Amino acid sequence: MINNNYSFPTGQEDIDNQDIIPSSDNTLKVGIIQHSFSVDVNTNRQRNLAAIESLASDGAQIIVLSELHDSLYFCQCEDVDNFRYASRLEDFANFYSDAAAENNVVLVTSAFERRAPGLYHNTAIVFDSDGSIAGKYRKMHIPDDPGFYEKFYFAPGDLGFEPIDTSVGKLGVLVCWDQWYPEAARIMALKGAELLIYPTAIGWNPDDAQDEKDRQRDAWITIQRSHAVANGIPVVSVNRCGFEEDPSGQTSGIDFWGSSFIAGPQGEILAMASENTPEEFILGIDKLRTENVRHWWPFLRDRRIDFYDGLKSRFID
């Protein structure tokens, strides 16, 4: 599915729309891959590759996959056997580098990185359209909740919040739990990110009441839309979908809620996938419009940086 439509946000209808009409030169075609996964890494990779080839043939310039897309979400329990899913970045790169180069697309991927014996990271790797590694980001915020025992597997990232330069622009790549922290989005924006990208693995406990499920999903969407608004740049969030059981049997598993979406620079939802169905789509993002939004709403200009020292404190008594 290709969607290149923008609707005017409330209150902007009277603005001269001559500067807002998308043109091919200013349109970035973003592809997203929302999949469910199996226990077999090779099967998952081949399915990812088929989706990459399909989206690239439809004109995608950048394609984003979900968090830890080569395997099941193994962090539901603490099990040393799950470290078998980890790989050296060189091994991971061999497959996705070829996928990027052969399809002439920028790829945002997610790996369980084995950095050294006993040292592992949840790492996003960006491949440029020639297959080279444009950059990587190691997940900074690591959760430790029932069903999401990531601290058992991942050391916190040590690369900071640094946008990655690619042939399609400067990408602010963050990962899942990072999406709840406005500080991470802000720093990426202040360092020149033109797009915020969040590979994600998030879902419901099937035992939760429906109203609680709705609140969780709505909060997840709202916080990321707020990052788009506060920083005046689009957000791309790509989640997995489908039910995955807890191998330990201690919980009822996770029902990943899909709902992968792209929001525009005013927080407007431009495209969203379903809650429970694998989907792939392309959306054209107008880069000129993003620039115009920052002219209309100059939030970065009006920040009172002389009074923000408290943000570096854990808590202010």
Convert the pLDDT of each residue in 245-283 to its tens digit.
Answer: 999 999 999 999 999 999 999 999 999 999 989 999 999
Q: How far is CA 11 from CA 15, 230, 244, 296, in A?
A: 9, 17, 43, 11
Average pLDDT of the residues of the chain:
92
Residue 12 pLDDT greater than 70, yes or no: no
Q: pLDDT band at residue 10, thresholds of 50, 70 and 90?
A: very low
Residue 15 pLDDT greater than 70, yes or no: no
* Rounded CA Rg of the chain: 19
User: What's the rounded Cα separation, in Å, for the pair 108 and 313?
Assistant: 32
Is 176 one of the annotated active-site residues of the chain?
A: yes
Strand partners, 213: none
Instruction: Give the closest residue to 175 by CA, choosing from 238, 99, 128.
Output: 238
pLDDT digits (tens, 9 = 90+) for 149-190: 999 999 999 999 999 999 999 999 999 999 999 999 999 999
* Model-wide pTM > 0.85: yes
Residue 5 pLDDT greater than 60, yes or no: no
Instruction: Give the closest residue to 111 by CA, choosing from 71, 148, 82.
Output: 71
- Is beta strand 106-116 parallel, antiparallel or unpaired with respect to 62-64? parallel
- Residue 267 contacts residue 230 (beta carbons within 8 Å): no
Residue 68 pLDDT greater than 90, yes or no: yes
Q: Quick check: helix, strand or coil at residue 102?
A: helix
Catalytic choice (29, 150, 176, 287):
176
pLDDT average, residue stretch 129-145: 97
pLDDT at position 19: 39
Is 67 one of the annotated active-site residues of the chain?
A: yes
Residue 307 pLDDT greater than 80, yes or no: yes
Q: pLDDT band at residue 22, thresholds of 50, 70 and 90?
A: very low
The single residue listed with the structure tokens 């497959």 is 95
User: What's the rounded Cα separation, in Å, for the pair 168 and 166?
Assistant: 5
Q: pLDDT band at residue 33, thresholds of 50, 70 and 90?
A: very high
Which burial class, exposed, middle or buried, applies to 281 when counting CB atoms under 10 A from its CB (0-12, 13-18, 19+)?
Answer: buried
Q: pLDDT band at residue 24, thresholds of 50, 70 and 90?
A: low
pLDDT at position 317: 87
Q: Which CATH number fits domain 26-296: 3.40.1160.10, 3.60.110.10, 3.40.50.880, 1.20.1530.20?
A: 3.60.110.10
Q: pLDDT band at residue 16, thresholds of 50, 70 and 90?
A: very low
Q: How far is CA 50 from CA 35, 47, 139, 258, in A?
A: 12, 5, 27, 19
Q: How many residues does the chain have?
A: 317
- Name the percent of the chain lying above pLDDT 70: 92
Catalytic choice (67, 194, 244, 280):
67
Catalytic choice (139, 194, 241, 287):
139
Strand partners, 107: 63, 127
- Residue 276 contacts residue 258 (beta carbons within 8 Å): yes
pLDDT digits (tens, 9 = 90+) for 180-228: 999 999 999 999 999 999 999 999 999 999 999 999 999 999 999 999 9
- Name the percent of the chain lying above pLDDT 90: 90
pLDDT average, residue stretch 29-53: 97
